[in-house]
Amino acid sequence: MFPDRTVVLSLDAELIWGFHDHAEIPTERVEHARESWVYLLELFDEYGLPATWAVVGHLFLDSCDGVHSDSPVGEDWYSRDPGGELAPDSVWFGRDLIDAIRDSKADHDIGSHSFSHVEFGSKRVSEEVARAELERSVEVAEEYGIDLESFVFPRNKVGHRGLLAEYGFSCYRGRSPDRWYDTAPIRPLGKLATYALGASSPPIVDPRVDDYGLVNVPASMYLFTFEGFVRKALETVAGDPVARQVELGLERLKEEDRGVFHLWLHPNNVTTEQDRRRLERIVSMIAEYRDRYDIDVMPMSRVANRVRTNE
């Protein structure tokens, strides 16, 4: 088991790239993506919490032709990319936002979320495509003075791990334990019982070195898993169900001798004042448990280093 009691925060930092292959792009999430990115950096700075920002590689660019003819993924993949240059409201480029991560007071880890949000675990993604995505991601980051260590698989579809090791990555975010909420005593209600009644808590995970020499840092919980009408209904009765689950997870971590509580989100999840209240409550709780119970908060790359140090 991981030697410390630790919270990990990881973010899929993608702007529009997480949706460019969708039939319909969620306009509200894309429109708020830049503002929410900056908001989260300010919030983490306020409480002194370092996080892993897994950034889509294309955001490192300040211009492109919109075609990317040298990519083996094919031109159709980039059919929505308008090309052009970085602008203050661009959702295709994000070098200024990467600057904001680097300039932040918190000691953040800048990792990779592939170059163009290709799903590594899809059977349609060949080794050639995965290799090109990693090679380009590492190249644009190195040009910017950043050595990538952490990797977050687009849509959490794990694949081509051997290539990650080949391109110098040390760790990745693995999938969370399957359907952990089904351990709730009221099994037929599953997820609803877990979130509404606090029938079970999210898992405390144990990062380990995999067969490729990479450290798998599994996710414990996605912070925007319970949305829409059901979220509103539950909030009316018992407050924010996700914040409540985070508190249960922190309580569980407090009682453990060691382990990792790994929370993740996209900056573009944060679109309303209600979302901001959720994040403010969660971040303040993490800081409180850190200060009161000697719980550490560290990004994925530091977790990987601790795992290797204690092998």
What's the pLDDT tens digit per position in 84-141?
A: 999 999 999 999 999 999 999 999 999 999 999 999 999 999 999 999 999 999 999 9
Identify the band that residue 311 occupies on the pLDDT scale cut at 50, 70 and 90: confident
CB-based burial label for 248 (10 Å; 0-12, 13-18, 19+): middle
What's the pLDDT tens digit per position in 189-216?
A: 555 555 555 557 999 999 999 999 999 9
Give the bridge partners for 11, in sequence order.
53, 265
Q: How would you classify the pairing of strands 52-55 and 5-13?
A: parallel
Could you give the CA distance from residue 198 to residue 13 in angstroms, rounded to a whole number? Answer: 30
257-270 exposure pattern, b = at least 16 Cβ within 10 A, e = fewer: eebbbbbbbbbbbb
Domain boundaries, the chain: 5-309
Q: Are 51 and 108 in contact (CB under 8 A)?
A: yes
Q: Are 4 and 297 in contact (CB under 8 A)?
A: no
What's the pLDDT tens digit per position in 274-287?
A: 999 999 999 999 99
> What is the C-alpha radius of gyration for the chain, rounded to an integer number of angstroms?
19
Could you give the CA distance from residue 88 to residue 107 in angstroms, rounded to a whole number? Answer: 25
CB-based burial label for 152 (10 Å; 0-12, 13-18, 19+): buried
Q: Which of 73, 69, 117 is nearest to 91 (CA)?
A: 117
Give the bridge partners for 212, in sequence order.
none
5-309: which CATH architecture?
Answer: Alpha-Beta Barrel (3.20)
CB-based burial label for 66 (10 Å; 0-12, 13-18, 19+): middle
Q: Is the pLDDT of residue 304 over 90?
A: yes
Identify the band that residue 186 occupies on the pLDDT scale cut at 50, 70 and 90: very low
Q: Is the pLDDT of residue 231 over 90?
A: no
Could you give the CA distance from residue 278 to residue 292 in angstroms, rounded to a whole number? Answer: 21
